[in-house]
Amino acid sequence: MSSMIEVRQLQKSFGSLDVLKKITFDVNPGEVVAVIGPSGSGKSTMLRSLVHLEEVTGGSIRIHGKPLVENGKYAGSADIKEITASMGMVFQHFNLFPHLSVRGNLELAPRTLKKGSPQEISAKSRELLSKVGLADKADVYPSMLSGGQKQRVAIARALMLNPDILLFDEPTSALDPELTGEVLRVIRQLAEENMTMIIVTHEMNFARDVADRILFMADGEIAESGTPEQIFGSPRLERTRMFLNQD
């Protein structure tokens, strides 16, 4: 089967700083890839590049075989819109709209894009809120929620447009330790449902449990790629773990 995500020789510089140095990897349908690595190694930049929140300086990204960028040249805006619409993203700091209720947060994008009738959109938001365990919070505003609840709303919101790829940028890093479990459980459930996901995380045990494959980034490169068994057995990673645990 062909890859869901193909990244080839991806480069990104901020001025003279080379943040991504010719990165190449594939993600297959249904695969869960965890991206780990020290702070500043380029993990967020790589993820943001996939959804066109960053413009790369070279290389290629294909999603479902369709080029978002090919050898540094971007597709037209209609194609970019179509390609990025198949991906949902969840951020470290939730990025909920504070002036909208939980339901409003979920329904804004599908209503704006007219993805279904108002009744269908409401039914979908109810269904997704109950999936993440927040059926009773539909009319509450984000400021009334805990961090773990906010992040679960953000995940439900990302699912509203039926993405076939979900990207997570350190989804639990802003949470108190006792709240990470409820978010990781939702991600784990999505993995069991065969959602294709890339998860940038510092949660080593979670990465080990849930990921089919781990990319270990260091200094703008993929230093290691393999199954959790391969990666966590690697002496090179053991050295880096000490460093990661200080974050």
Q: Given the rule CB under 6 A, which residues bind ligand ATP? A: 14, 17, 19, 37, 39-45
Written as six digits, the tokens of 160 are 């509203």
Residues 6 or more apart from 104 whose CB is under 8 A from it? Answer: 97
Residue 53: CB minimum distance to ligand ATP, A: 10
Which one, 35 or 106, has the nearer CB to ligand ATP?
35
Residue 247: CB minimum distance to ligand ATP, A: 7
Strand-pairing partners, residue 63, are 5, 66
Pairwise CA distance, residues 148 & 143, whole Å: 12
Q: How far is Cα of residue 185 from the mean position of the Cα atoms in its chain?
A: 15
Asked if residues 168 and 87 have their Cβ atoms less than 8 Å apart, the reply is no
Asked if residues 96 and 160 have their Cβ atoms less than 8 Å apart, the reply is no
Residue 113: CB minimum distance to ligand ATP, A: 28
Residue 223: CB minimum distance to ligand ATP, A: 12
Which one, 3 or 13, has the nearer CB to ligand ATP?
13
- DSSP three-state, residue 184: helix
- DSSP three-state, residue 186: helix
Which one, 49 or 125, has the nearer CB to ligand ATP?
49
Which one, 39 or 130, has the nearer CB to ligand ATP?
39
Residue 163: CB minimum distance to ligand ATP, A: 21
Strand-pairing partners, residue 4, are none
Residue 200: CB minimum distance to ligand ATP, A: 6
Which one, 149 or 240, has the nearer CB to ligand ATP?
240
Give the torsion sign (CA, 201, 110, 132, 94): positive
> What amino acid is encoded at 24 in this protein?
T
Which one, 42 or 171, has the nearer CB to ligand ATP?
42
